[in-house]
Amino acid sequence: MAFETEHPAPGAPPRGDIEADVCVIGAGSGGLSTAYGTSQLGRKTVLIEGAQMGGDCLNFGCVPSKALLAAGKAAQHAREAGRFGVTLAEPEVDFAKVHEHVRGVIETIAPNDSVERYEGLGVTVIRAWARFTGPDTLVAGDTTVRAKHFVLATGSRPSVPAIEGLDQVPYLTNEILFDLTERPRHLIIIGGGPIGLEMAQAHRRLGSDVTVVEGGAILGKDDPELVAEVRKAVSQDGVRIEEDAKVVLVEKNGNGGLTLRAERDGRTFEVAGSHLLVAVGREPNIEKLGLEAAGVETDENGVKVDEYLRTTNRRVWAVGDVAGGLKFTHVAGYHAGLVVRNMLFKVSKAKNEAAAKAPHVTYTDPELAQIGLTEAEAKKIDHKVARFAYHENDRAIAERTPQGFAKVIVGKGGKVLGAGIVGKNAGELIGLWALAVSSELKLTAITSMIAPYPTLTEVSKRAASAYYTDTLFSDRTKKVVSALSVLDGVL
């Protein structure tokens, strides 16, 4: 028999009405950052979450995927140790322990996103689903919340394509992939974007056969020259990649698995596997919020927002995936900072510039990272491309990781317009270029920097220096040096 206690459990919906300054809906990256900021600035804050604290990133996305990639990389390091004169046997992968590793990483980080932590910060946390009943009111469980401001931070979920037979077979999305405790014998992945490629390489390195089927080109939003390096590396790991292939049918087969049928150039081919992962994109979580009652307009990308992340209801703001732009955790955190500033500090508003200034990374091996304009996007403006290869970098040579290169898109006056890196630690190296793009720096800021030796950071500096090579060693410069040499011993 259950008894009601005087003190409710953490996150239990309080009964009755709450008056708040800020009500945040969704406890993922954007929502947690917003609630932290507003509460620390002394605003009475309510945080509502109907699912899991930490949202997609902690539970189903960034954190578990990187943990799984780390396990796959450990296995690959063992296979490749012979390059350094260290002989190891083929690694034995205990997939159940890999699963424990992934869950352990999540559990280690989870306290940072917990109900207890946020209640300790003075936030009222309600574990229930929220629905607007008016422009300044919503209900969550048995609680009615009225607030001066609302922040939508409900994130997104995996898109499920309309493929014949898909609803008749068991399939995985990122929301359940990391629950597997047994290694897939043959994992078929529909979708060759970042999630699809990362999970393909991770599972292949952990011993699964893997086939990726992509309707266009893999990593289609990235620079094709950078993508070529990733395609080569993932294929060499043993992943079968089928591009420009439209999936037309999925069905169970007699082997206890499933068969996928696809078409390319008028021809049909089939792939048989044990598991199917659908990774074709994301769609916003907005359907159950009652946004019509709040006067908040939506479209196919999510909630309509202005350049300050305000919706069509001036009380309501949106951050992260639901705001319809780039769907990255770091963008959600950036959005949260803007909204806190624009909501509470009304004098100086900050515009959302994530589309131009946010980097993105695909964590394959090699990693692929980009910021700003690509070479194709810069075609209509005056620009030059500077580059430098990993195989000319001493640290990359020493660690036997010479695959990859950096390329920088440079505008008039040496202004950095964009950069792309494919290679080891590209996700770390892109930070320097993100600073250059967001601060509108010129290449001289990079060339004048002293990079420690030997490091991969020198790849970026040498790429920047390459921009000036033709000018520095031109015939005109040689003539100037020759003329000045006449004055040696005179001045």
For the annotated binding site for FAD, the residues are: 66, 154-156, 321
DSSP state of 39: H
Which residues lie below 8 Å from residue 257, measured CB to CB, with a gap of 6+? 185, 186, 272, 273, 274, 275
Q: Give the up-direction half-sphere exposure of residue 196: CA atoms within 13 A in the CB hemisphere.
A: 29
Instruction: Tell me whether strands 282-284 and 298-299 are parallel, antiparallel or unpaired.
Output: unpaired
Sequence letter at residue 226: L
Instruction: Tell me whether strands 267-273 and 258-264 are parallel, antiparallel or unpaired.
Output: antiparallel
> For residue 136, is it left (φ>0), alpha (ψ between -120 and 50) or beta?
alpha
284 vs 301: CA distance, rounded Å? 7
Q: Identify the bridge partners of residue 489 per DSSP, sorted by sequence position.
A: none
DSSP state of 286: -
Tokens for 326, please give them.
């780039």
Residue at token pair 């390195």: 205
Q: Which residues are annotated as a binding site for NAD(+)?
A: 191-198, 214, 281
Which residues lie below 8 Å from residue 313, measured CB to CB, with a gap of 6+? 135, 294, 295, 296
11 vs 490: CA distance, rounded Å? 82
81 vs 91: CA distance, rounded Å? 11
Nearest in space to 372 (alpha carbons), one of 382, 352, 358, 384: 358
Q: Identify the bridge partners of residue 252 per DSSP, sorted by sequence position.
A: 258
Q: Which residues are annotated as a binding site?
A: 66, 154-156, 191-198, 214, 281, 321
- The full DSSP string for 53-90 is TTHHHHHTSHHHHHHHHHHHHHHHHHHHGGGGT---PP
